[in-house]
Structure 1
Amino acid sequence: MGWDIGGAHLKAALTEDDRVIKVWQKVTPIWRDFDSLSAAVDEIEEEAGDVSVHLVTMTGEVSDHFPSRRTGVERIARVIAERLSGDIRLYGGAAGFLSLGDARSNIFDIASANWHASATLAASRIEEALFIDMGSTTTDLVPVSEKKVWAKGHTDRDRLASGELVYQGYTRTALMAVARDVPFVGRSIPVMNELFATMADVQRVIGVLDEADDLHEAADGGDKTIEGSRKRIARMVGMDAVDARDGAWEWLAHAFAEAQVRAIHDAALKVLSRDELTDDAPLVVAGAGRPVLKRLAARLDRGVVDFSDLIDCPSDLRDGICRAAPACALAVLANEKPA
C-alpha cells in the first residue's frame, strides 16, 4: 500500500501484485487540525484490511503547523508508526525506501519526495517524457528518459529555482497569486491582494471542474456553485457579481485560467530548454489539474499520456489514480524492486 501525506489531503493506493485495486483521498488540513491525519489513516486502514507492506511519502512536513521541516517529518513518521502495522518504509527519493529508524538521519531525502516516486514510475514505463503532476496547490515538472529521472533539483528550494516546482495548483491557489492585473470589459484592472477566491472558483465558472477535486471549503465559506464562484471572483476586482453580466465574469475567469497556464508554460520552457528530451517526447500528466496540463501540451505541440495509462488498474479507477499518482507509484514500485 502506498501513502502520500500532504498538508491538505491524504492519498493512498492498494495493490495486489502490481495491479492497483483501490484508491483513497481524504481531506487532512494538518495546518489547523493535525489530528485529522490520524483519523484519516485509521479510516483508510480499516477499509483496506490486512496489508503486509506500507510505503510512505509526504509533503505535509512543510505545513506551518510545524516549527521546521525536520519536526514535520518526524511527527508524521510517528503517526504512521503508531497507526500502521506490518513492514513500513519511508520513501527517500533517490535514496530509495528507508526504514522508520532511518527517518531522523535522512530528513531531507524524505521531505517532499513524492514527485520523485511518480517520475520514477513514469521513467520505468515510457521511453521519454516530461512528467507533470498538477495537484490542488503545486505543479511538478520532471524530465524522464533512459529509465532515469533527470531532475536538477531535489529540495523544494532548488526545484523552485530550476522550474521543476511551481506553486500553482488546480483548486486551492489564491487568485492573488495567479495574476497581478487582469483584463475586464476592455480594461486592465489590478487584482486585490485578498483571499477572496481560489482557482476552484475559476475552474467552476469556466466549466471544467470536477467537484471531486474541490474538497475544501470556499474562500468565504459560502456555496460552491457557479453563482457563489462568480461572487467571489468579482470581489477580486472590487465588484459584486450583480455589477456585470454573467458572461463578463466568465471572461474574467478565463483570464485567470490563462495567467495560470502561462506560469506553468514558462516553467516547462525552462525545463525543456535543458535539451534533455527530444521534440517528440510527450507529456505524462497526473493530478487534478490534467485539464490544464492538456492545454499546455497543445501549446507545446506535444502528445499526452495519462499517468493511469502506465498502470495496471480497473478502468473506473483511472481518475483516482491520476489524482493519487505518488501513492500509486509507490505501491507499484514496491512490487518491482526490493523495499
Structure 2
Amino acid sequence: MTTDQRVLGLDIGGANIKLASDDGSYVQTKPFPMWSRHQELATVVEGMIGEYIAHCKSKHAYAVIDAIAVTMTGELADCFSSKQSGVIAICTAVQTAAGDRFPIYFYGTDGSWRTATQASQNWHTLAASNWHAMANLCGQLVPDNTHLLIDIGSTSTDIIPLVDGEVATDSLDDLTRLQSGQLVYCGVERTPICSLVSEFNLDNTHTPVARELFATTLDVFLLSGDVAEQPHNTSTADGKPATRQDAQRRMARMICQCPELLTDLELQQLVQQSRQAVFDLLTVATQKVLAELNSQPDSIIAVGQATFLITELAGDIPVIHLSDLWPGINQQVSRVGPALAVAALLQQELATSP
C-alpha cells in the first residue's frame, strides 16, 4: 500500500464548501447554506475530510495529511453579527473538525498564514481571502508580463490584475474591491434575476419584472444551454431541481406568468435579456479594471464555473485556463480554484520552511 501525503485546501463560502488536494488529484464540493446551517459547519468539514481519507483507502493508499489550508468568504453570511464573529466562528469550526490530528493554517489577503488562535486579532486579513489565494497562485504560474484573472463563481466574480507575477491591487477588502470593479457581486447560479433586470421587452412591450426571488441566474444559464441540468441540485429559488423544466417555471414567475402561457419566443426573450444583463454588468467591471492597467494584458486567465462567459468577455485578448498553466491537471479543478490554491501555496510554504 502506498502513502498519499498531502496538504488539503478548504474554501469555505457562504453557499458552498470546496476541498482540494495540493496536486488537484482530488476535489470535492458540497452545497452549504451558511446562513441556515452554520452550527453544522464543523460536522460537515469533518465529514469532507473523512471522505478524502476513505477515497485514499479505496485507492489502496494511506492518507497522510500534513496540514489543512483554509480560505473563506462565508464570514459575510447574515447569520453572523459581524465579519469578525464570522471569521472566528469559521476558524473555530475547522479547528474542531480537525481536532489535534493535523495542523490548520488560515490564509490572509497579505499572503501570510495564521492559526485559529490568531484569528481574532487578524480577522480583517482572513475575511474574504479566497480571491487573493487564487491570484497569488496564478501569479506564480505566469510570472512575467501583465495578465487579468477572471473567476466567475456561483455568487460573485473576481477580476484581478497580475503584473510580473504579483497581485497588482491595493483593493484588499470587499468594499474597496466593489468600488474598483475587481469584485462584482454577480455569479452564474445564485444572483436573483430581479437584481439584474428591471423590465423585459416582450414583443416590443415593456414588461416590468416581479421584484421577488422567483428565479436566479442558474435558471438563465440552464435555459440558455450554457449549464447542464443538475437534477439533484435543489439550491434554487423555489427549492425544486435545477432542470430546464423547473427553470422555465421559475423564469415565467418573473413576469407573474405560468410557462404553459408563455410562447417559446417570449421565454427565449426572458432568457436572452437576462443573460445579456449579466454579460453587460461583467463587461463594465472588466473594462474598468482594464482601464487602470498601463497596457492591454497578455492574456486573461479563466477560472471558475463560467469560462464560457470569460471567453466572450475577453474579446481579442487570448484566454488561458488553469489546466493550460498546470500540465496534467483536470480542467474541472478550476471550479474549486481557491481550495486548490491554498493547498498548493501552503505545500510550498511547508516545503521551504526550516
What TM-score does the superposition give when structure 2 sets the normalisation length?
Answer: 0.88
Counterpart CA distance in 2 for 1:132 and 1:310 is: 15
Q: Secondary structure at the match of 2:122?
A: helix
In structure 2, the residue matched to 1:37 is: 41
Instruction: Report the CA distance between 1:312 and its aligned residue.
Output: 4.6
What is the Cα deviation at residue 239 of structure 1? 2.1
Q: 1:170-181 residue pairs with structure 2 within 5 A?
A: 170-181=188-199
- Cα deviation for residue 48 of structure 1 reads 2.2
Deviation at 1:293, TM superposition (A): 1.5
Shift of 1:222: 2.7
Q: CA offset at residue 39 of structure 1?
A: 3.0
Q: C-alpha separation between the residues in 2 aligned to 1:97 and 1:311? A: 24
Matched, 1:193 2:208: no
1:138 paired residue number? 156
1:12-40 Cα distance to aligned partner (Å, 9 max, x none): 1113xxx2210110111110111442232
TM-score (norm 1): 0.92
Q: Larger Rg: 1 or 2?
A: 2
Q: How many residues align?
A: 330
The alignment-based identity, stated in percent, is 30
1:335 counterpart residue number: 347
Sort the Cα spacing of 1:90 and 1:131 in 2 relative to 1 into closer, same or farther, 3 A.
Answer: same
Counterpart selection for 1:286 from 300, 303, 318: 303
Matched residue type, 2:75 = E
CA distance in 2, matches of 1:39, 1:286: 29
Post-superposition offset of 1:63:
0.3
- RMSD over aligned CA atoms reads 1.8
Give the counterpart letter for 1:170 in structure 2: V
Match of 1:154, SS state, is: coil
Match for 1:228 among 230, 246, 250?
246
1:307 is matched with which residue: 303, 322, 345? 322
TM-aligned CA distance change 1:213 to 1:247, over 3 Å: same
Match of 2:83 in 1: 69
Structure 1 CA distance, aligned partners of 2:231 and 2:278?
A: 17
The equivalent residue for 1:26 is: 30
Matches within 5 A, 1:1-339: 1-15=8-22, 19-49=23-53, 50-84=64-98, 85-126=101-142, 127=144, 128-211=146-229, 215-276=233-294, 278-298=295-315, 301-314=316-329, 317-319=330-332, 321-338=333-350
Partners of 1:29 and 1:253 lie apart in 2 by 26
Task: Tell me, yes or no, if the aligned pair for 2:231 and 2:243 is still in contact at 8 Å.
Answer: no
Q: Distance in 1 between matches of 2:230 and 2:249?
A: 21
Say whether the 8 Å CA contact 1:28–1:36 is kept in structure 2.
Answer: no
The secondary structure found in structure 2 opposite 1:2 is strand
- What's the secondary structure of 1:183's corresponding residue? strand
* Preserved contact between residue 2 and residue 327 of structure 1 (Cα < 8 Å): yes
In structure 1, the partner of 2:3 is none
Q: Write the deviation string for residues 257-307 of structure 1: whole angstroms up to 9, x where unpaired.
A: 01101001100111111124x325211111112222222113xx2111112
Runs of 4+ in 1 over 6 A off after TM superposition: none
